[in-house]
Amino acid sequence: MADEILRLEKVCKAYNVGLPTETEVLHDIDLRLDHGEFLALMGPSGSGKSTLLNIVGLLDRPTSGRLTIKGRDIGALDDTEVTHLRGHTIGFVFQYHLLISAFTARENVMMPLLVDRGFPSAEIENRASGLLAQVGLEKFGDNLANNLSGGQQQRVAVARALAMNPDLVLADEPTGNLDTKSADAVFELMRQVNRDSGTSFLLVTHNIDLARRCDRILEVVDGRVRA
């Protein structure tokens, strides 16, 4: 389908393969996400949500099954091709924002662009400033990351996730560490980006109020998806 960004067919993931401790934690996952969709992923602790996000984010490979991103079968790609596809297609936001605390907000947002291009430029700096403005932090570009509030830091993390203009943003409990008001603001920010740019989102959350404001909720229970 032309508007499909992501498809999983019978995806399984086992850890410690070949060892006595081998455990399969994802079983026969079928999942499809279209361009512009904002999907919530819920489920108990240990059910496999982060494992699933790692596979979709090309940080880990399935043990079996088929994963397709933008029509490309990931199983057919080598590690270099996977790294390139990840960098240009997927943005990440984690529960703990993982900003570099000794760098400014703007430098943190510039990071994926610097990794891609290898050198700083006025264009990169301008793009980072534009992204900070988009997340409402235009006045904070020169602040060190660890001088910002938790909610502000998470907005910087969202701006950083958008730096490469990804088709898909994967957010693993991005508001789990925030107070209700900041959580709401960060969620609304992501929803706005989704509406304005058509970026797809896969959001892991334990917050049912936020999940209900997504297009669709999927529940992961014991390594299986329940629609």
Ligand X SMILES: Nc1ncnc2c1ncn2[C@@H]1O[C@H](COP(=O)(O)OP(=O)(O)OP(=O)(O)O)[C@@H](O)[C@H]1O
**Parallel, antiparallel, or unpaired: how do β-strands 200-204 and 38-42 relate?**
parallel
Give phi and psi for 198, each to the nearest 5.
75, 15
Q: Is 129 in the site for ligand X (CB under 6 A)?
A: no
Question: What is the 3-state composition of the chain as percent helix, strand, coil, each rounded to the nearest 5?
Answer: 40, 25, 35
Find the shortest distance in angstroms from Cβ 51 to ligand X. 3
Q: Is 50 in the site for ligand X (CB under 6 A)?
A: yes
- Residue closer to Mg ion by CB (options 62, 141) is 62
Find the shortest distance in angstroms from Cβ 43 to Mg ion. 9
Q: Please give the size of the binding site for Mg ion, defined by CB under 5 A.
A: 1
The window from 21-29, 31-39, 47-55, 137-145 that contacts Mg ion (CB under 5 A) reads: 47-55
97: left (phi over 0), alpha (psi -120 to 50) or beta: alpha
- Residue closer to ligand X by CB (options 163, 225) is 225
C-alpha R_g of the chain: 18
Determine the longest span between alpha carbons in the chain, in angstroms: 54
- Residue closer to Mg ion by CB (options 129, 205) is 205
Given the rule CB under 5 A, which residues bind Mg ion?
Answer: 50
Given the rule CB under 6 A, which residues bind ligand X?
Answer: 15-16, 25, 43, 45-51
